[in-house]
Structure 1
């Protein structure tokens, strides 16, 4: 067969798609919409690495750390003070700027330094502060807004950030956590660390699981309207076309729909890219310019999608005999064979087996084997589901009229029913496996903080030179605060020199000291020696002899510190350590304030633990407002019972974002597929109504036709998902544990999507069920 003949037949198919009347272009449009949705998501996926890279570049470009350099004041230096804060669990990046010369570096995104008391904010922060919800934040940031930060200075369209003009930053201590002197912005030393094999495995599996349903839907979309197309091809046989020509013509129709789908998909992607700039998903946002697909991957999509459309069409027509007088599809088809369908998932397991037990310390996982194994296991769902649906519906017996109509329809076209739910089954199987993998590895990336959040929920540091009593009083008077525990902490030595032994000293009132130790009795002026604290700290601690001398440091800066002698009272009492609100058992010496001289106070650092009224929604915001007045460069710490690895958390967030997009694609594609199925059965439904069949019966039959295959698909997805999840956990070296709530929730989400799509298809179904639908052109 010559290339010219192929080209002529494919061109004829393209003409049939767009110039073959209503049937042709409706089918082409349905195919294009289905393919377009998949292409849009594929383009979005290929753009994600670029978006993440740009976010990292923007973050590095505005880095304001001097990386250990000791810079002197000059015309090109700038003092940058950390003024970041948090508002209702959302981080706000803030910097106080004090240029020390005319050549001081400007941060990216602003044209000039704001004057003292003024600030430049991100568009999202400006919108928040101008809204009703921003009242408490305006109290914390009362400065006048004189401009907005440009895109080059932000990592996302919804990022909350500001730059504020300031003065006197040098007096607060250079190179402290709060204030830094720099002569340029940017990170000149990007650090490269060895990738965690388990995290790399998670990324690989996430991408495969998210992309597989997209591929399944694209292959299903190119087969929309297959039965009507085959009947048209029979007419071509009647006028002299041979069987091979009709198949190539059908491939041309599919090619036309796929190419139109590429165009629509590009349009959907461009629209979605603009929309992405105005939304925030799980706390993450991007600018539209970030979402630029890789040219090579975009070209691969442009070639692969039309090629897949042609290949799928030719494969689908292998089992169809198109004759001049009709299509031999209404006869009972040959039974599907099981043996080769089982080989697909077994081959996937065989690819994953060599990596079982490697864990984190066994070296990197082979990316090709991981990708191939997961793909084959998920493809196994699409291979096994048609056989399972056919085997089950063939054995379904008698029931109501709606049941019989549904079962008979499924028996005649079980393959079509399976194709409709293949994408859902693949998505659910992958989601179950990922949930098991995340649940099994969560403990390795999540650690307990030891904080007792039932006793306190926030911690405020007293600034150097600040008065602990004044800070504690301000916090205690803050709305939403139930109680404060104020401590001054430091260390005492048994003498000067490098061989001195040190022990911890805690200064606080009696009520607060009872939170860290069991005291026999306590009055102002008492001192206690604590036993039962941290064993390692006690082993080398300085001795506390009544009447003996110990030495306090006069400042926290070791270069400027001097030792001041303090006499241990002869009446020192004994106390037993208990876990303080941070979960630590402190030892050493406990001192009430009046027992400490003023000369040693500068060497102590103050901490205030705050217990909140949790019934007040914005209690934390009131505390943050008070803390900002006390020290604008030290944000109070919010206690949590556990914290998770940042990169692990990012991967998990990416999974949720991707899953949301895939679920939207599943719903949209299923709806298009359902409408196409109803359109093909328009005359049949009209005939049944004309013969007196109740609409309720037909509606129920449509629901049964969806419920039976989706139930079988979800059951298969659960089995495959549990198997894949168990293998992945074995690969990471984690214990195999089934997270049943996640399994049931993923299965429920898949069933919910199908239910919503079915309900949305009922109005068009009711419109089709009219006797006048029997009219012909």
Structure 2
């Protein structure tokens, strides 16, 4: 009960932790993105984004330059670092001082003069830094890379993404993770039920009546549940501190973030003892406790099916009105979603005892171990079903969620078009930078196989606002062949490209021999002026091919000497880098070189598929929660198994004394677990597929079963049971000793 309560409290604290992370992120926001630029004053600060990535982990970085004595300090920073100094997060400090951070240290050579406090970080393992800078204004304040602010904080704080499908995913994840915990707690309350009944029989012998024994049993359960609550609170406080020192799937929190909602914590404190008492009284309804023993030998009433079917049917009925609603029909009704999913999963716990009883009643002849197992299951099928309920509920929920994630995955991931077999990174050379020098530096970088250097820009057929535009690409012949099929090429050649993607050809400026095209000399409209360039008479035709970015470009291709020096500032340098993937830190070497070329622009790491970050974080949360729940269920199964074996110690010893082989008894224990778990997993698969299909129809997605995922989920459930069974074999062998027959 203590373990279950700890997990419940942790779950109720998660929304609070996510909200605090969101608030901390808003509080340190410094990028204005198109907001009116703040005028320079004694209370303003220039901030430049210099974030980077180290081995797939984001490192948040800012260069700061105060413009007056009242410039706003970043949250968590005591004073501004001077030029050549930086303040860093505690985790980044330890990384930079370790051997693992040697490559990152080359990129961040500044002297560390302090650490960022908790108020300036969103997690205990976040990598972040602020370093002193000067001359940022001369590089252009654009509100994106470099911005001027007079205070920190998001000017337009918004709630997190309220996409109805993502909200539905969050709801279902929480219900699916909490239901097995609830099942686990109700099962834990009934551990040791047979010994408790014998104690109650002894109390009957000294004068207690039937009603008193039930009150005593309820009191025992209540006391155990309250003690479990206290232990659970202790486990939670310990886990809360531990959570601050670990990172799971790239996510971390500070212990202070994990504060359960008082209302939800109160609900847990009331619900757990109440459930313990009700479950105990429910368990005693079919037991007659007499002064000389407990009567269980009477033929138990057959379990009825009709009311058990009502639960999943009612769950489907609650979800059915939202079928077809999709993303555009507004938010899903949270109460109907929660109620429907709970009823479907509770239906698993209601149907499983009936199915186990119905199946084992028809099982018979077989090996001795099989017969021992079947007879035990026939005598106590309820106990066997109760033991695997938690796994069945977890697997049913996992299958439904896996179907939902698989079905909606395409809506939250997109093909980037990048050909990662030809290049894996892209480095941008700043305006005015020397492309040839940058390309040479990258080509000489450890781990780089090729560096394709382009100068890219646009040219117009006139200087006015009504002019038509087309793309201009400047590169050497070998690099131009990455974007077009050239008839022949030597330095000084110019090409007009045919067969580009339709959106590039539509309305493009015409390219004719002897005609004039105009380059802009700067990206800044205030400093730019149009420079005319005459299309040479010997211009050749070329056919566009898909370039490494997955695009067929059009316009005009030029070798460097074909472009006049006055027009060069009007094109921006891009270098596509092909890596030696066998070198583990190839990307880090490229990032170090790129930081010297352009410190304000992080190299782009190409991926073939890009995912929605919020969708990914929900999926991450599911995996983290599933690991915790499966560990809890494994503990539940192990305790339950050991409890059953301990109660049957005398029987096991007697069977061994009569000559039953230990291997036979071990196999019988394995069969006793395998039969109900097989039935439970079959039922879980059926319910999970039903729930998954309904949820997919609710999101307006075609129903498609990913059988590999279904099998993997059931395999994980079966694996947990197998591990538990193997762990219970050593105690089983000890219980088979002859001294188990001793009695007093």
- Indicate the TM-score class for this superposition, using the shorter chain for normalisation: over 0.9
Aligned to 2:15: 49
The 3 A distance-change label for structure 1 pair 193 and 212 is closer
> Residue 668 of structure 1 aligns to a residue in which SS?
helix
> Residue 43 of structure 1 aligns to a residue in which SS?
helix
Q: Which moved more, 1:501-510 or 1:162-171?
A: 162-171
Shift of 1:610: 0.5
Selected match of 1:359 from 326, 338, 345: 326
Aligned to 1:208: 175
Aligned to 1:431: 398
> Residue 464 of structure 1 aligns to a residue in which SS?
coil
Structure 2 residue 129 is matched with structure 1 residue 129: no
- How far apart, in 2, do the equivalents of 1:81 and 1:358 lie? 44
Aligned to 2:62: 95
Equivalent positions of 1:502-517 (< 5 A) are: 502-517=469-484
Question: 1:403-436: per-residue Cα shift (whole Å, max 9, x none)?
Answer: 2221111111110111110000000000000000
Contact 1:461 1:634 in 2 (8 A): yes
Aligned to 1:519: 486
Shift of 1:331: 3.1
Q: Which moved more, 1:588-597 or 1:756-765?
A: 756-765
Shift of 1:239: 3.0
Selected match of 1:702 from 669, 672, 685: 669
- How far apart, in 1, do the equivalents of 2:568 and 2:206 lie? 104
Structure 2 residue 35 is matched with structure 1 residue 60: no
Aligned to 1:611: 578
Structure 1 unaligned segments of length 5 or more: list them: 1-34
- How far apart, in 1, do the equivalents of 2:455 and 2:479 lie? 11
Structure 2 residue 197 is matched with structure 1 residue 233: no
Shift of 1:73: 2.7
Selected match of 2:249 from 264, 267, 282: 282
Aligned to 1:418: 385
Contact 1:332 1:412 in 2 (8 A): no
Question: 1:63-96: per-residue Cα shift (whole Å, max 9, x none)?
Answer: 1124523223322221212111111111111111
Contact 1:119 1:162 in 2 (8 A): yes
Question: 1:294-319: per-residue Cα shift (whole Å, max 9, x none)?
Answer: 11111111111101111111111111
Aligned to 2:425: 458
Contact 2:37 2:143 in 1 (8 A): no
Flag as ranges the 4+ runs of structure 1 deviating above 3 A. none
> Residue 447 of structure 1 aligns to a residue in which SS?
strand
Selected match of 2:5 from 39, 46, 54: 39
Superposed CA RMSD? 1.4
- How far apart, in 1, do the equivalents of 2:66 and 2:238 lie? 42
Contact 1:488 1:606 in 2 (8 A): yes
Structure 2 residue 284 is matched with structure 1 residue 314: no
Q: Which moved more, 1:179-188 or 1:508-517?
A: 179-188
Shift of 1:192: 4.8
Contact 2:653 2:737 in 1 (8 A): yes
Q: TM-score, normalised by structure 2?
A: 0.98
Selected match of 2:261 from 272, 284, 294: 294
Equivalent positions of 1:400-419 (< 5 A) are: 400-419=367-386
- How far apart, in 2, do the equivalents of 1:494 and 1:550 lie? 5
Contact 2:326 2:699 in 1 (8 A): yes
> Residue 601 of structure 1 aligns to a residue in which SS?
helix
Aligned to 1:12: none
- How far apart, in 2, do the equivalents of 1:323 and 1:193 lie? 61
- How far apart, in 2, do the equivalents of 1:762 and 1:166 lie? 66
Structure 2 residue 300 is matched with structure 1 residue 333: yes
- How far apart, in 2, do the equivalents of 1:475 and 1:583 lie? 22
Aligned to 1:534: 501
Structure 2 residue 659 is matched with structure 1 residue 688: no
Question: 1:21-71: per-residue Cα shift (whole Å, max 9, x none)?
Answer: xxxxxxxxxxxxxx1111111100110011001101111111112452322
Selected match of 1:374 from 338, 341, 365: 341
Shift of 1:112: 1.2
- How far apart, in 1, do the equivalents of 2:719 and 2:113 lie? 49
- How far apart, in 2, do the equivalents of 1:213 and 1:720 lie? 15
Structure 2 unaligned segments of length 5 or more: list them: none
> Residue 569 of structure 1 aligns to a residue in which SS?
coil
Aligned to 2:106: 139
Equivalent positions of 1:6-17 (< 5 A) are: none
Structure 2 residue 136 is matched with structure 1 residue 169: yes
Shift of 1:681: 1.6
Equivalent positions of 1:217-232 (< 5 A) are: 217-232=184-199
Question: 1:306-362: per-residue Cα shift (whole Å, max 9, x none)?
Answer: 011111111111111222232221333121111111111111111111111121122
The 3 A distance-change label for structure 1 pair 313 and 193 is closer
Aligned to 1:395: 362
- How far apart, in 1, do the equivalents of 2:678 and 2:645 lie? 21
- How far apart, in 2, do the equivalents of 1:176 and 1:544 lie? 36
Question: 1:501-537: per-residue Cα shift (whole Å, max 9, x none)?
Answer: 1111111111111111111111110111111112233
Structure 2 residue 163 is matched with structure 1 residue 196: yes
Contact 1:667 1:753 in 2 (8 A): yes
> Residue 600 of structure 1 aligns to a residue in which SS?
helix
> Residue 565 of structure 2 aligns to a residue in which SS?
coil
Shift of 1:449: 0.4
Question: 1:470-491: per-residue Cα shift (whole Å, max 9, x none)?
Answer: 1111111111111111111111
- How far apart, in 2, do the equivalents of 1:80 and 1:567 lie? 41
Contact 2:461 2:518 in 1 (8 A): yes
Equivalent positions of 1:468-479 (< 5 A) are: 468-479=435-446
Contact 1:37 1:669 in 2 (8 A): no
